[in-house]
Structure 1
Amino acid sequence: MRSRHRLGGLSVAALMLGTAWSFGARAAEEGPVALVERLEVGDRLRVLATLDAEGRYRPGEATEDTPVTPIELTVSTRIESRDQVLAVDAEGLPARLWRQVGRASVEIGGPEPIRPQTITLRPEVSSLVVDRAGGPGGRVVAASPQGPLTRAELDLVHMPADPIGVPALLPEAGAEVAPGDRWPVPDAVARSISGYDVLASNTVEATLRSVDDESAEVELAGAIAGAVLGGQGEMTITGSFRFDRRAGRVSLVTIERDERREPGPVEAGLEFRSTISIERGEAADEDAGASPPTVPEAIPDDWLLLRYASPDGRYTLQHDRAWHLFSEDDQQVVLRRVEAGTVVVQANLVAGPTVEPGAQPKAERFRDDVKKALGDRFDRMIDAGAVTAPEGEFRYRLALAGRQGEEPIVWYYYLVSDAKGRQVVAIFTLRASQVDRFGRRDQRMIGSLRWLPGRP
């Protein structure tokens, strides 16, 4: 059991006596006890969550013809927040929180040529609504009522083992446990700890190691297997948590993860060791701050949008969270839409040549250029025409059908230009079988594109 007393300068005998006195003051309990955390709407907690990791990314599997050099990285994340309960479920577990983030940052480093990078959460989007969607078996969702997050900001605030799920580490409500008793960690918590979209197996168990008048110490151990964005992974879990019996809450969680994940259609493979720490305490009265936002029963779609800015500083656009960045440079950005671990649509945003300011692009020439580029893959034109654009801009859309090998394919091409003569060509590629499911998401994404006063 960890001692909270400063021991410097004491003799060995004094240490032994002090230890005996400490255990005498906090007598261990032998009978079963109930470890229950019940939160009420309006309760506020002060939370500190950290993650420290080191390991390497593997861009792909090495072969004799294509050697792969792993990328060594270190990651250090820190999030300080005040969480106010907005809703609880039937068991008294938090179902929705208002999270006021005071500080959130992640520092990424590594040996040369890796350049150190720090990502922070912008203050204007520091008020979040965190929802355990769909009940205990659902996924944790962080929504931003103040405006779209970037993908990097979302990854930052979606740190594994979100504190909203911490109370679910305890035994089922009302169940009494004694030292040595074990209980399974729910799949929803395992999904949060691992960050996996899909679980293949979860053997993580909690074991009550000791209990006294002040606290209970619980050990965590097991393994989780699953996949995220189509990349198969598995990790071993060790750790512990402390239940503060006087406060009636889980006050400290420490989780160590040892993971190996295969490359997927969007992300590289990895081999990482990481330590997660979560501290929870009662928020001070002066931490009350502003009133929480009014949250509809269903989180609005607008609160879940993400903001993307092109690396050349030309434009921004918004998209839903199924889109993931695959690659980017000043000439081309590639986004992939992943559903159930499979890429269903790819979007290529290509920087076009700058033309004379105010010049009207020629739609007929654009159609001819696209058909020429597709060559033998082109079958027929489905639709063509100008689409709604802000004043002074020109936007034109083509829908074409064809084949990629034996696979029926549909392409949506856009030509977008502004009054300064800057141009972007957007290409959406999808299987013909996905057209109805995809709907008009291409139109919504391009409709959100806004030019920035960047370099011409």
Structure 2
Amino acid sequence: MNSEVLRFSTHPSVSSGTRRGFLSRILAGGALASSWAAGWPDAGDASAGESSLRVNRGRDLFRVRMQIDVKGNVNLAKDPMIPDSPKQVLPITGKISLDYEERYLRPEGATAESAIIVAERHYHEATGTSTLNRTTQATQLRDSLDSILARREQLPETIYSGDDYLTHEEVELLRTPVASCAIDSLVPTKTLRVGEKIEVASMTLASVFNLTAIAASDVQMELVSADAADAKLQMRGKIEGSVAGVPTQLHVLGKLTLDSTLQTVTWAAFAVHETREIGNAEPGFDVTATIRMIRKPLAKPERLPLIAAKVDFDQSPPRDRLLMNIGSDYVGVNALMDRRWRIMKDAPGEAILRMIENDRSIAQLNLRPLPRLAEGEQWTIEAFELDVKRKLGDRFGEILQSQTDLTESGLRMLRVVATGQVQGVPIQWIMMHFSDDEQHRVVATLTMDGESVPKLDGADVQLAASLQLANPRGNVASGAGEHQSDEKSGQTGEKLGDTGSTRLESIASRPSDESSGEVSSASDIPVQR
């Protein structure tokens, strides 16, 4: 490995930031752009003539190093179910370091000019640290994950592993704000004069910055200099787009070095300022960051398998590989869930998850630990039915289904499906009582409106099949066979909201004297020189 090729050049950087696992597209323009020092590694004198830019799109194997530094604010709604809920602003900083091999996989019949829709990666390093209002968290990709696939038919790209199920934190760690496999597409392959500018296509910008859609853009690419060794380009402008249905706005300043011999972008740096609205599954944010990237073409894999992964390009990513390992130490559960499920609260006594698709809430899942029963005691399905009716009260309509079963992991399950109404809206509840031989007990309540029932898509079956019980943190004490009832467990999503992830919630509740040092906007962030 040529350490010189993969060494980051000294470059001005805007400071760092990420929330619990989030680092999305982030670029800086306007006042930031004017203060971001211009300069490339080994910059040469600019040529005054015309230059013909060429990219070798036949290359399909690279070693990439990327460093992301971010600083800004996370914006939270105190109650995410109320659009005009008061907002909370928390300062955040962070850093992500990635070092990986990347192989491009192409469907049969694809040409070198075709967009890269699948990348196979092996990560030599993938680490991240973030500090949210003085609380620091570290994330690291497990060493056991040898092969990672990134599918890019739809954006943001879908990341999964054939070795094991990823966690949300690992997926967010690997979902970079700039896609290395799309970076060459930024180069205008035509003859340009130094100082000449050309508009960058929206489709290209969406691919590079992992955006689902772009509504408007004025980003332009400029040839700054060119000689026999390389060409240097600069881009800047504004992008208005969306990510999974959530509006976002980016101001972009980027610098690229195109190696004239390799005909490949070997160095890139971006300054990004992104403002994203608060979504149903994610906080909003106003962050500024730098992304620095070095790419080196490889003649053969170093750690990637010699034989490329098999991908069925005619099919969507395999559903069984897109499950995520979701757990709650407070409730004492672990399960494999659809990626649309996001943890909104994880605290002693209850965990709340929501199924979010295109920023629309489909269903809510409440998980609650119960007191242990006396030795030899078990709940009956009849007792569970009565408890369901009592909990729903005047919202209860009828019981559609009631059964007792044994799950794949050996848990005893009582399952009741009930319907009813809340404020005239038809609602369906799926309530499941799980218990094991050690008297651990958990109740899972799925709540959705009538129109969303088909969209649940077997999530209740998947939950029951994979759920495992453990001693919850704080250990629920033994008690009578009664639920410790909470009327909220049967309410609709209109009233089951929480302030967001437990980590954000706990930090937001700190005394104000612990929140000193907040910045109110990205313009308050100094540029480090």
When normalised by structure 1's length, the TM-score is 0.85
Quote the offset at 1:354 in angstroms.
2.2
Contact 2:105 2:118 in 1 (8 A): yes
- State how 1:44-443 maps to structure 2 within 5 Å: 44-60=61-77, 68-87=87-106, 89-90=110-111, 91-111=113-133, 114-133=134-153, 139-171=156-188, 175-191=190-206, 194-228=209-243, 230-283=245-298, 287-288=302-303, 290-292=305-307, 294-297=309-312, 298=315, 299-312=317-330, 314-356=332-374, 359-390=377-408, 392-443=410-461
C-alpha change, 1:108 and 1:27, in structure 2 (3 Å) is closer
Aligned mates of 2:326, 2:9 — CA distance in 1: 50
- 3-state SS in 1 of match to 2:194: coil
Aligned mates of 1:205, 1:178 — CA distance in 2: 14
Higher relative contact order (CA 8 A, sep 6+): 2
Quote the offset at 1:5 in angstroms.
11
C-alpha change, 1:61 and 1:388, in structure 2 (3 Å) is closer
Code of the aligned partner of 2:262: A
How many residue pairs get aligned? The number is 427
- 3-state SS in 2 of match to 1:387: strand
Can you list the C-alpha shifts for 1:174-223, whole angstroms capped at 9, x where unaligned?
A: 54333334334343443355554443323322222222111111111111
Contact 2:331 2:367 in 1 (8 A): no
Aligned mates of 1:389, 1:142 — CA distance in 2: 29
Whether 1:34 and 2:61 are equivalent positions in the alignment is no
Aligned mates of 1:333, 1:210 — CA distance in 2: 56
Larger mean CA deviation between 348-357 and 362-371 belongs to 348-357
Aligned mates of 1:373, 1:307 — CA distance in 2: 30
Can you list the C-alpha shifts for 1:157-190, whole angstroms capped at 9, x where unaligned?
A: 012112122122122xx54333334334343443
Code of the aligned partner of 2:90: I
- 3-state SS in 2 of match to 1:28: coil
Aligned mates of 1:262, 1:160 — CA distance in 2: 17
When normalised by structure 2's length, the TM-score is 0.74
Quote the offset at 1:107 in angstroms.
0.5
Aligned mates of 2:372, 2:136 — CA distance in 1: 34
Aligned to 2:467: 449
C-alpha change, 1:360 and 1:5, in structure 2 (3 Å) is closer
Code of the aligned partner of 1:235: L
C-alpha change, 1:405 and 1:66, in structure 2 (3 Å) is closer
Contact 1:79 1:105 in 2 (8 A): yes
C-alpha change, 1:352 and 1:291, in structure 2 (3 Å) is farther
- 3-state SS in 2 of match to 1:366: helix
Q: Which runs of 5+ in 2 are unaligned?
A: 1-7, 11-41, 476-529
Aligned mates of 2:240, 2:297 — CA distance in 1: 34
Contact 1:360 1:394 in 2 (8 A): no
Q: Percent of pairs identical after alignment?
A: 23
Code of the aligned partner of 2:233: V
Contact 1:160 1:192 in 2 (8 A): no
Can you list the C-alpha shifts for 1:89-137, whole angstroms capped at 9, x where unaligned?
A: 43154332220001111111255xx321111011112420122226xxx
Larger mean CA deviation between 66-75 and 249-258 belongs to 66-75
C-alpha change, 1:185 and 1:415, in structure 2 (3 Å) is farther
Aligned mates of 1:365, 1:188 — CA distance in 2: 58
Can you list the C-alpha shifts for 1:352-402, whole angstroms capped at 9, x where unaligned?
A: 222235542222111111111111111111111123414652112211111
Indicate the RMSD between aligned Cα atoms, in angstroms: 2.9
Larger mean CA deviation between 47-56 and 203-212 belongs to 203-212
Contact 2:149 2:160 in 1 (8 A): yes
Aligned mates of 1:61, 1:392 — CA distance in 2: 39
- 3-state SS in 1 of match to 2:366: strand
Aligned mates of 2:270, 2:376 — CA distance in 1: 58
Code of the aligned partner of 2:342: H
Can you list the C-alpha shifts for 1:240-267, whole angstroms capped at 9, x where unaligned?
A: 1111111111111211111222222222
Aligned mates of 2:204, 2:192 — CA distance in 1: 20
Can you list the C-alpha shifts for 1:277-322, whole angstroms capped at 9, x where unaligned?
A: 1210123767255334532313322222211121337331112222
- 3-state SS in 1 of match to 2:383: helix
